[in-house]
Structure 1
Amino acid sequence: MSVVQLDTIRRVLVIKWSALGDLVIASALMEDIARALPHAEIHLNTQPGCTGLFAHDPRFAEVWAIDVRGRAHRWANSLAWLKKVRTGHYDLVIDLQRSDHSRFLLTLLFLAGGAPRIRIGNRGGFPYTHQPAVRDPRAHAFLMMQSVLQAIGIPTPTAHPVLYPAPERRVVVASLREQHGLVDEGYVVLLPGAAAAHPLKRWGTARFAGLARLLHAQGVRKIVIIGGPDEVDECAEIAATGDYMVNLNGQLQLLDIAPLCAGASAIIGNDTGSAHFASAAGRPLLVLCGPTDPRRVKPIGNTAVAVQAQLPCRNCYAKVCANPDTHACMKAITPEWVAAQYPALAAGMLKPGQDWPGGLRSF
């Protein structure tokens, strides 16, 4: 395997389509790429619904999207994708996907004689020219993507997502904080949602409401709720807990989450895409995991910790609970337990690898 001379690379294509959480995680690797190749022109290929996340990102000369996975026009779009990459005359392609779809397209490009001369990817093997050390699909996406960059000598020191909201949105967030009296270290952010198709990932409105009451009784002045379109009712129900609640559901864009969380004493939420955006703030973050494996789904960053009940059925990834004690994995994490850990969380003393009576463990 030849050594890559990074200073000879002039044009780079980064491929990262999804999922949303993985895309946010990948933004840390994008920072490493930009720092290692300051002389290169870097392009990002993502999916049509994700281009807006990078609309103000100074790391990329171009962000482009062609839907090669949807059923409509799949072959025509795939041909358009191949033509786009071929005419891009890239020296290096960095494929951060965890599936074989992008590898298949790059194989076609190689067989047609138009592939970039240096090709690296998560999956390894043909047609990539360099092989990452970590190729286990069960590994955390971050470790896999770091290994890809390390395979060609790109250092990977960035430990948290790096995102670039539009400047005008920072003004909006600052105005919301002033309007609701959200002073630094004076509020906690709750993320009660998760994808509607995965209801078992949700801790539940009653538990979040109970936690809000306990945190306020412990001296937290304001409790902020952030949710998406699928979580309107849940957010409204939790917000009814007391006048110290601030319901920002529907008032924020995804890239607003990190600036809003930047002043929080702590962030507590489910395994949800919002938690990955929140991790970019670098504030103490506790993720409550039930049916999903925290070793694979936990947001990155030195301040992010996940907790999970150590039950025989953990990491089932089911959409319907098969345990006779329905939702036992989330029931085991009580509002009282989370509230008791809040001082350690806010102080940065809640760490991975801790075990608690009752079968709870942090990751």
Structure 2
Amino acid sequence: MMDKLIPIKTINIYKGVDLSDRLEEFQSIDLTINKNIKKILIIKWGGMGDLVMASGIMEDIALAFPDSDIDLNTRPQWAPLFDNDERFFTVWGSNNNALSSFGHAFKWIKKVIGYKYDLIIDLQTNDRSRIYLALLKFFHTNCVHIIGNHAVAPYTIYPKSSIKINNPFQMMQRTINSIGIKTQTFRPNLRVGDNVRNNALQILKKNNLAAKAYCIFVCGSNVRGHLKRWGIKNFSELSLLIEQKYSLQVVLVGGLDDEKECMAISERNKTIINLCNKTSLSELNEIFNQASFIVANDTGPAHLASNTLTPMIVITGPTDPRRVKPLGDHIVAIQPEIECKNCYQKECNHHSCMIGLLPEEVLKCIGGIV
């Protein structure tokens, strides 16, 4: 049984934090002038949203070291996002479940030693990546430059300033600033090949979706983050309001975890086109690009959508929009003002931050971005 809803005082709108370059504040050394850096490894194992956000940082690394071979170590399911990306010499995967095993750790260390990297940039910077890199230094005493976000082992270079930062992009920005890389790219930078773009256009054509004649709902989330979902009732009611006000076709997208949610929404409004789990991640980029606007939960595909310039509303409640809002001035995050916001809980007996946010309020916010 659910507890009584907590009243919502108002709706807060977040446009993002200041991402200005802070090279002078964080630079400890300038490695960009070191001609001996021929091979670079970038580590980023996180979720899809984290990786998409990091792609802008990766662009700045590539610009700073144009003559170096750059490899990316990420989770296997995200590797297709970098297919045919000329910035990377190799993209190789590390399964998230296997990362916790010593057997995998030693295989990883052996592989890294074999590639003979001159510079390792840890954009993950968590306990697991630090353990892996500490083991690497133990077994490989002639270790390369290892860059991280904190002034702790095993990093050989770290930011000059240790002021507290909570925004993940700013953390990665500080990491590359520490070695003299200037931040020039302040939004995602994923490359999409012509073949993928053409596949996406065929999907749109098959469903009679003309450019800017539809909007997209990203209405799911990882099953472990189900509290981040605005809900079946709210999304279905918003779809009717959008059809009435904007005469746009509503399209649902998502992955395997989102199928039940999307199916339930489309059953409530039979005019909706449900493309959930019917596209690849890379194809979604062009489908987002052709949309009039996007309404999304705080979830990985919302960050993927930020690789385009399509206006987007991201609905947050249990997560902090100052940390999770996708990058871009064309994107706003909205969050009900409620005493328990930013709780990051996995379970809740009232879910007021989402249930209490009315479709009419979201419709008003859409009017501010289109």
Q: Per the alignment, do residues 313 and 46 of structure 1 end up closer, same or farther by CA in structure 2, a change over 3 Å counting?
A: same
Residue type at the aligned position of 2:62: A
For residues 270-309 of structure 1, give each alpha carbon's deviation from its aligned partner in whole angstroms, at most 9, with x where no partner exists. 0111111111112111110011111111111222211111
Q: Is the 8 A contact 1:138 1:296 kept in 2?
A: no
| Residue 15 (structure 1) shift | 0.6
CA distance in 1, matches of 2:234, 2:301: 19
Q: Distance in 1 between matches of 2:126 and 2:226?
A: 25
- 1:134–1:327: structure 2 CA closer, same or farther, 3 Å change rule? farther
What is the DSSP-based 3-state SS (H/G/I as helix, E as strand, rest coil) of the residue aligned with 1:190?
strand
Contact 1:68–1:78 under 8 Å retained in 2: no
Report 1:120-269 matches (<5 A): 120-132=147-159, 139-242=166-269, 244-269=271-296
Question: Post-superposition shift, 1:116?
Answer: 4.3
User: What are the equivalent positions in structure 2 for 1:1-363 lying under 5 Å apart?
Assistant: 1-8=28-35, 9-67=37-95, 70=98, 74-114=101-141, 116-132=143-159, 139-242=166-269, 244-322=271-349, 326-346=350-370
Give the Cα–Cα distance (whole angstroms) in 1 for the partners of residues 142 and 194 of structure 2.
Answer: 37
Displacement of 1:46: 1.5
Letter in 1 for 2:224: A
Q: CA RMSD in A?
A: 2.1
Q: Secondary structure, in 3 states, of the residue corresponding to 1:119? A: strand
TM-superposed CA distance for 1:2, in Å, is 4.1
Give CA-to-partner distance per residue, 1:131-160, whole Å, 9 cap, x none: 226767861111100111111111222122
* Cα pair 1:214 1:339 within 8 Å, conserved: yes
Q: Quote the Cα distance in structure 1 between the aligned partners of 2:230 and 2:163.
A: 29
In structure 2, relative to structure 1, the CA distance for the partners of 1:136 and 1:201 (3 Å cut) is farther
Distance of 1:129 and 1:148 partners within structure 2: 12
Q: Distance in 2 between matches of 1:37 and 1:10?
A: 9
**How far does residue 115 in structure 1 lie from its aligned partner after superposition?**
5.4
Q: Secondary structure at the match of 1:261?
A: helix
- The change in CA–CA distance for 1:224 and 1:119 in structure 2 (over 3 A counts) is same
Query: Offset at 1:242?
Result: 4.3
Secondary structure class of the residue paired with 2:157: coil
Q: Secondary structure at the match of 1:277?
A: helix
Cα distance, 1:256 vs structure 2: 1.7
- CA deviation after TM superposition for structure 1 residue 204, in Å: 0.5
TM-score normalized by structure 1?
0.87
CA displacement, residues 42-100 of structure 1 (integer Å, 9 cap, x when unaligned): 0111123332332322111011224475278x222211211211222211110011312
Higher relative contact order (CA 8 A, sep 6+): 2
Q: CA deviation at 1:41?
A: 0.4
* Equivalence for 2:3: none
Q: How much has 1:210 moved relative to structure 2?
A: 0.7
Distance in 1 of aligned mates of 2:96 and 2:247: 47
Q: Distance in 1 between matches of 2:282 and 2:186?
A: 18
Shift of 1:197: 1.8
Q: Structure 1, residues 94-129: CA drift from partner, whole Å, max 9, x if none?
A: 001131222222222223344543221133322222
Deviations 1:341-361 (A, max 9, x none): 222112xxxxxxxxxxxxxxx
Stretch moving more, 159-168 or 142-151: 159-168
Amino acid at match of 2:243: H
For residue 218 of structure 1, report the CA deviation from its aligned partner: 0.7
Distance, in Å, in 1 between the alignment partners of 2:345 and 2:203 is 37
